[in-house]
Amino acid sequence: MFCTRCGIELSDAANFCSGCGAATPNAARASGFQQGRAERFSRPLEGGKVAGVCAGVARYWGIDVTIVRVIWAVTALWPPFVGAIAYVVCWIVMPRDTVPVVGAARDATVG
């Protein structure tokens, strides 16, 4: 493998270039970031109460799922039905995970 910035030959296991310090594709895989955000905006297979919408939103934003559920419940009551309509729309639009996300879904649904 060669560095795309300075052209130095690197070992295939290198995360950063020894010459210029540029990150290699291995560094992106090691840190968990893959082309864009680290997490997809999707509903998890595990940890959801009704449809998993709140768990998916909490995982995407990196906050506790209880906070998302409380906010969603408040917006479902006031202004009338806004949160309920948004929940149904997210339920339809958000894709379902095909495989369980290790750690992320469990961390977001603690509580």
Domain count, the chain: 2
Query: Is residue 7 a part of any domain in this protein?
Result: yes
Q: Which domain holds residue 4?
A: 1-38
> In terms of domains, do 96 and 63 share one?
yes
Query: Is residue 44 a part of any domain in this protein?
Result: no
Query: Is residue 4 a part of any domain in this protein?
Result: yes
Half-sphere exposure of residue 56: CA atoms within 13 angstroms, side-chain side: 20
Listed residue (111, 100, 42) closest to 70, CA to CA: 111
Query: Is residue 46 a part of any domain in this protein?
Result: no
Structure tokens at 75: 């917006």
Q: Please, is 16 exposed, middle or buried when counting C-beta atoms within 10 Å of its C-beta (0-12, 13-18, 19+)? A: middle
Query: Is residue 45 a part of any domain in this protein?
Result: no
**Most confident range, picked from 36-50, 55-69, 94-108:** 55-69
Query: Is residue 62 a part of any domain in this protein?
Result: yes
> In terms of domains, do 28 and 2 share one?
yes
Q: What is the pLDDT of residues 59-104, one digit of tens each?
A: 888 889 999 999 999 999 989 889 999 999 999 999 998 876 665 5
More confident residue, 90 or 111: 90
